Amino acid sequence: MERRQVVLDVDVGIDDAAMMLFLAAEPGAEIVAVGSTHGNCSAAQAAANALRVLEAVGLAHVPVAVGAESPLPNAVHSAHVHGHDGLGDAGLPPPRGVPSGESAAAQLLRLSRERPGELDLLAVGAMTNLGLALERDPEVLRRFRRVIILGGYAREPASGDPVTVDANVFHSPAAAEALFASGSPLTVVPVDTTNHSILEEDQIDRLRAAATPQGRFAWAILPFYFGFYRTILGRWTARMHDPLVAAVLLHPGLVRSTVRRPLYVEPFEDRHRAVGREGDELAGLHPRDPVGIVTEVDQRRFLDRFVDALTTPLGTLCPR
């Protein structure tokens, strides 16, 4: 299995933390650096949460850079989804470490120049840091080996589709629009794909019984998330949005179908969303490069692998 060296841009709420725990257990991944962004909580809180997660799995040496806070006036965070502290208000102890002192955007620029073509960027929060880095250097994302993000819709949502907010675009629409218009090579895992990443009862039972550090940490925070999703899905479970993005990077065989479409940020109700447009839908829109959009994955295989990673002792998970 090829080993991926990964830089994270994360608004560390519950599913970001679960994704980081997943990556820490995967033999094909090394977390090189973390930048915090806003969305699930403030960027400052997300940095503290990232430190908590890293320390729980023996990765306290990984640098964490604090990102920019929300550019939106009167911005609100997702406390009803992730808790006021972003980690389910589980009473976790504060981290021992502190952020590096470098900004998240500066960290992206520096690492892209120091290690061109070596690092993967995995961005699953508001895209403010990516937008700031692009303002300073339009080529920054091209120097990463791969850039994979969570956000947008592969197509216009249809009647009867699962309802999910395009949160990462909503929290920083101008940065998202700049990103999608930049021509940077991107792989996008949209919310109309991650909507279907729902844990089943047998997988939840395995997580509940986990004795590993990553599994115990996950089980301390997941019940809050399950409680929120019970109001959405009608049962005690949750969507694993962010972990799916990491799985697409590490296990491309999980991907069943992709399309290439340009993404456009547009107003929607009282917020914004990004939609992949094609054909006649492009009339009147400014031309831009298409991006790779993942439209279907093997959800059961992904979720089983995710649970395996959280329940298997660190350093012993078999490659797949």
**Is residue 293's pLDDT more than 70?**
yes
Q: Is 318 contained in some domain?
A: no
Whether 91 has a pLDDT exceeding 90, the answer reads yes
- Is 171 inside any structural domain? yes
Q: For a pLDDT cut of 90, what percent of the chain falls above it?
A: 93
Q: Does the pLDDT value for residue 2 go beyond 80? A: no
Residue 306 pLDDT more than 90? yes
> What is the average per-residue pLDDT within 156-168?
84
Asked whether residue 277 is domain-assigned, the answer is: yes
The whole-number average pLDDT for the span 99-119 is 98
> Is 239 part of a structural domain of the chain?
yes
Question: Which pLDDT belongs to residue 104?
Answer: 98
Q: Which among 40, 52, 43, 44 has a CA at the least distance from the CA of 13?
A: 40
> What is the pLDDT averaged over residues 221-240?
97
Residue pair 187/146 in contact (Cβ under 8 Å)? The answer is yes
| pLDDT value of residue 22 | 98
pLDDT category at 105 given cuts 50, 70, 90 is very high
**Enclosing domain of residue 41:** 4-311
Least confident segment among 1-15, 48-62, 106-120, 136-150: 1-15
316 located within any domain: no
pLDDT digits 0-9 by tens, 190-225: 999 999 999 999 999 999 999 999 999 999 999 999
User: Is 320 a domain residue?
Assistant: no
Mean pLDDT on 129-148: 98
Q: Is residue 12 part of a domain?
A: yes
The whole-number pLDDT of residue 1 equals 59
Q: What percent of the chain is modeled with pLDDT above 70? A: 100
Structure tokens at 294: 């993942």
Classify residue 138: in a domain, yes or no: yes
What is the CATH classification number for the domain harbouring 288? 3.90.245.10
236-286 pLDDT, tens digit each = 999 999 999 999 999 999 999 999 999 999 999 888 999 999 999 999 999
Give the chain's domain count: 1
Residue range 100-125: mean pLDDT, rounded: 98
Rounded-to-integer distance, Cα 102 and Cα 104, Å: 6
